A = this chain, B = another copy of it.
Amino acid sequence: MKGKEIILGLLDTQGPLTGYEINEIIQNQLNHFYDGSYGMIYPTLRKLEEEGLVDKQQVNQTEKPNKNVFSILPEGKALFQKALHADLKGETFKSDFLLKLYFGDQLTKQQRRNLLQQELDFKQLKLDALHANQDEWQRNGITENQQFTVDYGIATYTAQIQVLKKELQRL
């Protein structure tokens, strides 16, 4: 699944949304298994509209800036269903941290420690955010499957934090 299908999926399961709201969901709920930005969201929404897969409605607001609310159309729903039932694609993971360590034979002990510590802090932040967000999310309703994606993320981060801590102690 790519940006296009993910936006369709969000519109299909959460109802009409603005580009801004789509970004919020991606940053908060999909953060640990997908990564998107405005630079992808707005151009994609425009394309989806051009292709007749979504519908745009302008909403004027007085206390806030005006906004464009997008709704999914039947053609969009069909395309999303197709994507949802397509063959499972492999995941991609790229880690600058592991690459640097892999090549980092020439690094000093202090530089290695720094790398490990930075990565540890980073992962810890991610884990905290996941926990914090889960509480928020549960109040607005979360499905069993979505809860599982959170559990999966927590388990992954927790295991990684453990390995990082262990290695830091060893050094």
The answer to whether B33 and A95 have CB atoms under 8 Å apart is yes
The answer to whether B88 and A97 have CB atoms under 8 Å apart is yes
Pick the contact of A103: B9, B32, B92, B106 (CB < 8 A). B9
CB-defined contacts of A97 to chain B, threshold 8 Å: 88, 91
Whether A34 contacts B95 in the complex (CB less than 8 A), given A90-B122, A119-B88, A163-B155, comes out as: yes
Bound CA span A167–B122, Å: 27
Bound CA span A85–B163, Å: 23
Q: By the criterion of a CB under 8 Å from any partner CB, how many residues of chain A are at the interface?
A: 54
Q: Can you list, as one digit per residue, whether each of A73-113 has a CB less than 8 Å from chain B (1) or not (0)?
A: 00000001000100011111111111111111111000010
Whether A98 contacts B33 in the complex (CB less than 8 A), given A13-B103, A92-B93, A115-B88, comes out as: yes
- Max chain B C-beta neighbours (<10 A), residue from A93, A102, A122: A102
The answer to whether B100 and A1 have CB atoms under 8 Å apart is yes
Bound CA span A98–B35, Å: 13
A70 vs chain B, min Cβ distance (A): 17
The answer to whether B96 and A88 have CB atoms under 8 Å apart is yes
17 new A-B pairs (CB below 8 Å) besides A30-B99, A35-B93, A155-B163?
A29-B102, A30-B102, A34-B94, A35-B92, A80-B103, A88-B97, A88-B119, A91-B96, A93-B93, A93-B94, A98-B149, A98-B152, A101-B148, A102-B149, A105-B143, A112-B145, A148-B167
